[in-house]
Amino acid sequence: MQLVIALDLPSAAENLALAESLGAFDGLWMKVGFRSYIRDGRPFLDTLKSINPHFKIFLDLKLYDIPNTMADAAQEIAELDVEMFNLHASAGPRAMEAVMRRLEPYGRERPLVLAVTALTSFSEEEFRAIYGAGIDEKAKEFARASWEAGLDGVVCSAFESRAIKEETSPEFLTLSPGIRPFGEDAGDQRRVATLELAVQEQVDFPVVGRPIYRAEDPVAKVQEILDRMRDIQSKRGGE
């Protein structure tokens, strides 16, 4: 399990200050979203890497377009030297296959590709009106299609992680937002999972935003999370 920190602060300066304060932790993942990337672009990614070259970047752009345009975008993302990005599974198997084909020349250097199955902001009714099926059913179907297209994993709630691995493969990665490591304030998240639950549900990448950047001491908070992750995992390994 690897911790992903959502860099969701309102300015590049604040996000970089947070990253800088966490510079001593090797191998942390930094999630860079729409807002930040549109505003701050590639120089922001380069600055993150200059703070710590071992930071890994997850570019959360959720691509959705025709297959060739998605493949073009995927290739440009691979050139950005980021370690992971995502796209919408509802763009369809042909688009997902085109993306994976386009990344083939990068071999083991290619970024990991995750699919978004269902946006959690949808109510069941809204989702059904657009996709013609229920969220659970369709999310599983999308997860399966993205696995068959050769993607590395999906973005899903911690509560769906295990079912998705059962539907696909234990190696198919799951990245889950809405994690409140020690049961912190849920904010606008509707269903939140603790670290304990995320480990139990085999989440590969827990994403944590506010509980870290709103903590009085974000560095201590990250240390606490990493220690706890290690603890829970070693306990489970010993079972």
C-alpha to C-alpha distance for 21 and 30, rounded to whole angstroms:
13
Among 67, 111, 153, 177, binds ligand C5P (CB under 6 A): 177
User: Cβ 76 to ligand C5P, closest distance in Å?
Assistant: 22
Closest CB 18 distance from ligand C5P, rounded Å: 12
Q: Which two tokens mark 211?
A: 């509980």
Residue 209 lies near ligand C5P (rule: CB under 6 A): yes
Q: Which is nearer to ligand C5P, 208 or 225 (CB)?
A: 208
Q: Is residue 62 annotated as a catalytic residue, yes or no?
A: yes
Q: Which of 62, 140, 221, 235 is catalytic?
A: 62
**Residue 4 in contact with ligand C5P, rule: CB under 6 A:** no
Query: CA 58 to CA 86: how far, in whole Å?
Result: 8
Q: Least distance from C-beta 178 to ligand C5P, angstroms?
A: 5
* Interface with ligand C5P (CB under 6 A), residue from 61, 210, 215, 228: 210
* Identity at 19, one-letter amino acid code: A
Is residue 90 close enough to count as binding ligand C5P by CB under 6 A? no
Considering the rule CB under 6 A, would residue 5 count as an interface residue with ligand C5P?
A: no
Shortest CB 106 distance to ligand C5P, Å: 26
Nearest to ligand C5P of 71, 115 (CB atom): 115
Catalog residues that contact ligand C5P under the rule CB under 6 A: 6, 8, 33, 120, 177-178, 187, 189, 207-210
Active site residues: 62
